[in-house]
Amino acid sequence: MFSQLVGSTVAALIVGSIPLGFAVWPTHWPLVAQLALAFAATELVQYTWHRSCHANSVLWRVHAAHHSAPRLTWLSSARFHPLEVITEYILVYTPLVVLGAPPVIIVMFTVATVTCSLLQHSNVALEMGPLNWVFAGAELHRRHHAADPASQRANYGTILIVWDVVFGTRYMPRRREQQPDNIGIDGLTEQFPKNWTGHMLAPFRDQRQFYETTGQREMATARSSNHRERLARANRTKSAIRR
Ligand SMILES: [Zn+2]
Ligand SMILES: [Zn+2]
């Protein structure tokens, strides 16, 4: 929670100081239409960022704190390293500010995003039926938090699931009652930090030490950063998606 506060404050100060501003936002549209535009404009950025966090070994070090919890609760929506919060918020809010979105849209977008994230991570048996083809709700996001690495390479959506559909990374088991038994990171050891300070320092630990604590032995013994990236790319293709 503290990480979210620090990260969002730093990101707001940085985005607020951007001198560029093009008054091209359609402020004459109804608020609902403007909000839909804000989602459309930002969801692809969030999808790309989140997918990169799983595909890139450096970004994964920062994102691992979010996945390290052994069970999902609404509090998991705030379990992020501040570096991830700062980077993601700058990437998401900069287009809105530069395009000239009014403050009311930015506030409504933020409230909707936070609310969806709370629901997405909450420990509820919420079935959304056909809406699972539009929104990245709890059912879909729970699959993303399944412990096996292959399941984590699916359902990257933040509010909408549309870009997962477009890029073929949406995964919903045929039998919906088959929710994952294990949440977290496969092979995570007791040495992975459990307190706030430990999470803050984890991305900066010695590479071998970091990957040993997350159970990724191949990555821990990689000979070079190029080798590590090749392993990360190879892992990315092992998807849990079965069609
Ligand atoms: Zn993730
Ligand atoms: Zn999550």
> What does the pLDDT look like over 127-144, one tens digit per residue?
888 999 999 999 999 999
How far are the Cα atoms of 14, 54, 58, 67, 89 from residue 194, in angstroms, in the given order?
30, 21, 20, 12, 25
Residue 38 alpha carbon to ligand 1 centre in Å? 22
Is pLDDT above 60 for 236? no
- Of residues 117 and 213, the one with the higher pLDDT is 117
- Using only C-alpha atoms, the chain has a radius of gyration, in whole angstroms, of 18
- Residue 206: pLDDT band (50, 70, 90) is confident
Over the stretch 95-106, which tens digit does the pLDDT of each residue have?
A: 888 888 888 999
Residue 98 alpha carbon to ligand 1 centre in Å? 27
Residue 149 DSSP SS3: helix
- Residue 188: pLDDT band (50, 70, 90) is confident
- Residue 40: pLDDT band (50, 70, 90) is confident
- Pick the ligand that lies closest to the CA of residue 79: 2
Is pLDDT above 90 for 239? no
Q: What pLDDT, on a 0 to 100 scale, did the predictor assign at position 43?
A: 93
Question: With pLDDT > 70 as the criterion, what percentage of the chain qualifies?
Answer: 82
- Residue 69: pLDDT band (50, 70, 90) is confident
Is pLDDT above 50 for 243? no
| Cβ atoms 63, 79 nearer than 8 A | no
Residue 25 alpha carbon to ligand 1 centre in Å? 31
Residue 154 alpha carbon to ligand 1 centre in Å? 9
pLDDT mean over 218-229: 70
Q: What pLDDT, on a 0 to 100 scale, did the predictor assign at position 35?
A: 93
Residue 123 alpha carbon to ligand 2 centre in Å? 12
Residue 242 alpha carbon to ligand 2 centre in Å? 21
> Mean pLDDT of all residues in the chain?
83
Is pLDDT above 70 for 109? yes
Residue 142 alpha carbon to ligand 2 centre in Å? 8
Residue 51 alpha carbon to ligand 2 centre in Å? 12
Dmax over CA atoms of the chain, in Å, equals: 57
Is pLDDT above 50 for 42? yes
Residue 124 alpha carbon to ligand 2 centre in Å? 14
- Pick the ligand that lies closest to the CA of residue 121: 2
- Pick the ligand that lies closest to the CA of residue 156: 1
Is pLDDT above 60 for 115? yes
Phi/psi at 63 (5° precision): -80, -20
Alpha-carbon gap, residue 86 to 93, rounded angstroms: 11
Closest CA to 54 of 148, 137, 135: 148
Question: With pLDDT > 90 as the criterion, what percentage of the chain qualifies?
Answer: 36
